[in-house]
Amino acid sequence: MGDCQTKEQVTERLEAEEEQLKRDFELSLEALKECDQLTRVPHLLIEIRSLGFVEIQGKDTGGIYQKLDSWLKQHWRATEKTQDLILKCAEEQTCGCCGFAPEFAVGTLEPHHALCDKSYTLGEMSADGKVLSNHTYKNRGSEGENNMGKLTMQLAQFLTNECGWTLQVCDSGNLGWQGEIREQQMKFKAPHPLNLIAPLVMIELRQVGYIEINGQDQDGIYGKLGNFCRTMWQATQTQADRDYCDLKFKTSAFKGRGSEGENNMGQRTMELVDFMVKQCQWTMVTCNTGNFGRRGDKREQQLIFRNDEFVQHGVDHIMIELRTAGYIEINGLHDAKDLQPELINFMVQQWRCKEYTKYMWESSENFCDLKYTAPDGLFTREGLTNNLGKRTIELADFLAQHGWALLLCNGGSVTPNPSHSPNNIIREQQVKFTRTTPEKAKAPLLMIELRTVPYSDGPPAWYGYIEICGKDTNGVHGHLDRFITHYMHGNCIGRGNVGHCDVMYSTTKFRKKPSSNNENGRYGGYMNGESNIGKWTMRLCDFMVDHLGEWDLIVCNSDNLDRSFQHGSGDNKYFNSVTAREMQLVFRHKAGGRGVFMSASNVEPLGRPPLQPPPYWKDAGCKDGTVGHKLVPGTPEELTWMQEILDGTFKNKVTRDRKDGQPLADRFVAVQCVRSEHPGLWDRFAERRGLVAEAGRSSSDFVEPKTMAAAPGLARRCVHASVGNPANQAYLLHGTNPTSAVAILQNSFTVDFAGKSAGTMFGPGVYLAESSTKADEYARDDAGGEYDGLYALLVCKAVLGRSYVTEKAGDFRDQVLSGEYGHVLGDREKAVGTFREFIFFHEASIYPEFAVFYRREKDGKVMARPERELAPAMMEMEGEVASM
């Protein structure tokens, strides 16, 4: 029998391994629970795999998993994954004598088998583990045409425009014999209200000669892109199959040459970036590459832009590509004439590069602005490990000195001779930089790379590594050491002298699975299925951004490669490959940290129509109470009203509550607003309004806030056509930051008589203002995010009733709670010439209706953010106990 095992022996061994897997799972589950309990604002990864799966990784917050579950089932007919490939003993002997061996077979998916936090299938799983009748993903032809971009935009638009999450990074990967297995990863971070408004568009450039566009055609962007493609690239529009893309062009402008993957896709990408950012005024969100074809030399560039009409535009970009074939290619230098001599000096003096000299047979056409030949040893590679990450950080540190910040980076690979030298892989790193402020550019960077390195194909087995590049800013290496060793059971195997990184760990936590039980290692590779590397990636992001509170995630991209193993020799030689998965994360330090706010609740439907819902509500589900809460983009008319309030109630007066030391702006400029339709909060507000109206107070006792005269169009929404305004409704203001504003729209204010608002000037209530200047004293921006420098005011509809007016400080809650008055009016304007404040002691008296986002301007220019806003305390918003 030799080393052969009986069926009983194999079964017994697998049962023991299954028990160990359960124990390991329980330990990992406890570690993840502990980690997630500390996470207030998580990151979310969603992966679409062409094999027929959708996988979700990250902590479930704010009911996002349930929202995704409903959307995936409704729009993509997805079903929750209930079966999986499980190791079992083969039913028949697998060797020539009498031996049995384990094999993968479809079985019931138990919790300890799952590698993702949530998984779905897009069809029926067959007996070999493959998904049949995948009715969602489509592909055809030999040039790589597919609808992954369209699917990505459908899901991204739901997460951003419907759920408010921020699309951080989107990247693609290829597996299989010709890269035909496609994977698309989207990483999202904490919701921001302006995501509900800003549309996205994806543009894909495929080296085989096509331009494909998906997303929302807002601001005539499709027409503008069509003119650009025809003019710049002599492209012709072709009939787009709407199952694959929304708009399609064919062009010969994309070129390649040689056997090492040289192409002009970087050059064309920068031309497109300039057009979209500078001429169309869209913001570049992400830019990634893919490698299709047997050698991986059919480059695909995928770019996503967001239409942020309300942020500053026109920034410069450059792209630098590092290639282990021994070349460095630079594009976009027309935006960086001042940088060019410094960059050349760095390449020549520090990296010892030489300007590239063309071979005699090369065409005269330039594929980039500048090209250098790297000296031996600049780029090192040992198996799948390499030093491109370390070189990227070195390059970023240099450019930071000249006011250029790392914006995005992603990896790729080309295999020039896959049939005979499959492990001779050319690694590529495409790095994008943007011109920015010196403070942002010089902020320290940290790169963390997670990778699996196969060492056997029979059976497939791999090592797991975690590599860190970057300075030990504020002891971050020690913090990471504790996270990696505690949660990921990592073991430090190198520090300071590793060569390709600064710190290196090994780990056994990275798991992978096959895509079917009949994978062919020779023609497609082993282990092309699910992995849990994304799960740990998201927890690392949570730890760095949320737990430490000092870092922003700027890059999170994946890369798929393979390691090949030779069998036979001579004419009988062949190679089996095992898939290797990698993740690359880059974080930027933010001095002092900053506050992160997020509502963790999910609003339950009222279950019946609310009392007298406003006639201008748009969502039918809110009107009948079947939807818990909906944020609706403000109309142009509503935005005009918001500006009228900001202008009409502005007062050139500073009080001691303005503690940031910044001069008062001379104008607040509204850039966008959202309106809340909340049946539950409206229902209690309408009930309170009715009680106050029934009290029958004379309107001669009512005080009208200045907001009403400032925006008469909005004020009319407080007046009923037949009964007028018997409860003395009015609009009032509350200053906050944009993400907290959404939490308050969702949960309203809390009156806490024993809480942090106790002891305020007029009693422990909710303080609202009639002046935009007063409310602005408490406004903040979401420092460091996509919408830096945008502040927020809540415009709340309030039932005032009769006012208890006082000029002196004191606790006047009893006057209101007795029912005699509807609120307290603290008249500091009359007393000392500052502002009037309106204090409420009934939560139901306030309906937070609008969040308006605005800029502070002085002398027609946007004001710089005050220093103290760089580091407010971190907190989770379940609502806000508000005082002013």
User: Helix 533-542 vs helix 7-38: angle between axes, to the nearest 10 degrees?
Assistant: 20
Are 529 and 512 in contact by the 8 Å Cβ rule? The answer is yes
- Strands 803-806 and 823-827, how do they pair? parallel
Domain of residue 840: give its range: 620-870
Compute the average pLDDT of residues 690-703. Answer: 85
The amino acid present at 60, given as its one-letter code, is D
Can you give the pLDDT at residue 34?
87
Q: Give the pLDDT mean for 869-876.
A: 34
Question: Would you state the pLDDT for residue 98?
Answer: 65
For residue 373, what are the CA distances in angstroms to 379, 411, 426, 427, 808? 11, 19, 15, 15, 76
pLDDT of residue 390: 95
**Mean confidence (pLDDT) of the chain:** 90
Question: Which pLDDT does position 874 carry in this prediction?
Answer: 30
Give the separation between CA 201 and CA 841, rounded to whole angstroms: 46
pLDDT in tens, 600-654: 457 899 999 999 999 999 999 999 999 999 988 899 999 999 999 999 999 998 8
Q: What is the pLDDT of residue 860?
A: 85
Q: What percent of the chain has pLDDT over 90?
A: 70
Question: Which pLDDT score is estimated for 311?
Answer: 61
In this prediction, residues 191-215 reach a mean pLDDT of: 92
The pLDDT assigned to 236 comes to: 98
Distances (CA, A) of 517 to 14, 66, 81, 83, 501: 17, 31, 17, 13, 37
Summarised one tens digit per residue, pLDDT across range 534-562 is 999 999 999 999 899 889 999 999 999 99
Q: Record the tokens describing residue 425, joined without a space.
A: 């892989």
Q: What's the pLDDT score for residue 3?
A: 67
**C-beta atoms surrounding 801 within 10 Å:** 27
pLDDT digits 0-9 by tens, 50-94 = 999 999 999 998 789 999 999 999 999 999 999 999 988 888 876
- Distance separating alpha carbons of residues 792 and 769, to the nearest angstrom: 14
For 144, what's the count of Cα atoms within 13 Å in the CB-facing half-sphere?
Answer: 31
Q: For residue 809, is it within any domain?
A: yes
Residue-by-residue DSSP string for 529-544: S-BSHHHHHHHHHHII
Find the farthest-apart pair of alpha carbons in the chain and give their distance in angstroms, rounded.
104
Residue 446 in contact with residue 475, Cβ under 8 Å?
Answer: no
Residue 875 is encoded by which pair of tokens? Answer: 């907190």
SS3 at position 340: helix
Dist CA 530 CA 514 (whole Å) = 7
User: How far, rounded to the nearest angstrom, does the alpha carbon of residue 408 sit from its chain's CA centroid?
Assistant: 13
pLDDT of residue 498: 82
pLDDT given for residue 866 in this prediction: 65
Residue 319: pLDDT over 80: yes
Give the integer Cα–Cα distance in Å for 712 and 651: 19
Residue-wise pLDDT for 784-795, tens only, equals 566 778 899 999
What is the model's pLDDT at position 90? 84
Cβ neighbours for 569, distance < 8 A, ≥ 6 positions apart: none
Helices and strands counted in the chain (H then E)? 19, 44
pLDDT value for 372 = 97
Measure the CA–CA gap between 131 and 511, rounded to whole angstroms: 21
Alpha-helical (H) ranges within 39-94 are 64-75
* Local structure of 630: helix, strand or coil: strand
What is the average per-residue pLDDT within 673-699?
92
Rounded Cα gap, residues 477 and 482, in angstroms: 9
Provide the number of structural domains found in the chain. 1
User: Alpha helices of 39-163 — where are they, by DSSP H?
Assistant: 64-75, 148-157
Residue pLDDT, tens place only, 242-301: 999 999 999 999 999 988 889 999 999 999 999 999 999 999 999 999 998 898 889 999
Which pLDDT score is estimated for 625?
96
Q: Where are the beta strands (DSSP E) in 472-573?
A: 491-495, 503-507, 551-567
Q: Which residues of 98-136 are buried (b: 16+ CB within 10 A; e: fewer)?
A: ebbebbbbbeebeeebbbbbbbbbbbebeeebbbeebeb
pTM summary value: 0.86
Instruction: Give the per-residue pLDDT at 883.
Output: 38
Cα–Cα nearest to 361, from 248, 439, 259, 448 = 259
Cβ neighbours, 10 Å, residue 84 = 20
* Stretch 202-222: mean pLDDT: 96
How far from 311 is each of 50, 596, 671, CA to CA, in Å? Answer: 36, 20, 9
- Would you say residue 784 lies in a domain? yes
330: nearest Cα among 321, 339, 338:
321
Tell me if 824 sits within 8 A of 815, measured CB to CB: yes
Q: Which residues contact 800 (CB under 8 A, 6 or more apart)?
A: 702, 703, 705, 727, 728, 729, 730, 822, 823, 838, 845
Q: Tell me the pairing of strands 327-331 and 298-306.
A: unpaired
Predicted confidence at residue 878, as pLDDT, reads 30
Residue 715 lies in a domain: yes
CA-nearest of 550, 325, 540, 350 to 450 is: 540
10 in Cβ contact with 101 (< 8 Å): yes
- The pLDDT of residue 230 is above 70: yes
Specify the pLDDT at position 592. Answer: 56
Tell me, what's the pLDDT at 784? 58
Amino acid at 511: R
Model pLDDT, residue 705: 96
Q: What is the pLDDT of residue 738?
A: 85
CA-based nearest residue to 601, from 686, 685, 682, 681: 681
pLDDT tens digit string along 570-606?
A: 989 999 999 999 999 999 998 655 444 455 457 899 9
* pLDDT surpassing 50 at residue 759: no
Structural domain contains residue 764: yes
Q: Does a structural domain hold residue 475?
A: no
> pLDDT tens across 155-201, in order?
999 999 888 888 999 999 999 999 999 999 999 987 777 888 889 99
Q: What percent of the chain has pLDDT over 70?
A: 93
Give bridge partners of residue 317 from the DSSP assignment.
Answer: 434
Task: Examine residue 806 and state whether it is found in any structural domain, yes or no.
Answer: yes
696 or 354, greater pLDDT: 354
Helices 265-274 + 221-233 axis angle, to 10: 140
Q: How deeply is 716 buried, as exposed, middle or buried, from its count of CB atoms within 10 A (0-12, 13-18, 19+)?
A: exposed
Mean pLDDT of 459-477: 96
d(CA 633, CA 756): 33
Which spans in 727-824 are helix H? 738-747, 772-776, 813-817
Is there a domain that residue 783 lies in? yes
Which pLDDT tens digit goes with each residue over 495-540? Answer: 987 889 999 999 999 999 999 999 999 999 999 999 999 999 999 9
446 near 503, Cβ under 8 Å? no
* Rounded CA Rg of the chain: 30
User: 351-405 pLDDT, tens per residue?
Assistant: 999 999 988 777 888 999 999 999 999 999 988 999 999 999 999 999 999 999 9
The CATH number that applies at residue 714 is: 3.90.228.10
Q: What is the mean pLDDT of residues 873-877?
A: 31
335: three-class secondary structure by DSSP: helix
Q: Is residue 754 part of a domain?
A: yes
Q: Of 723 and 248, which is predicted with more confidence?
A: 248
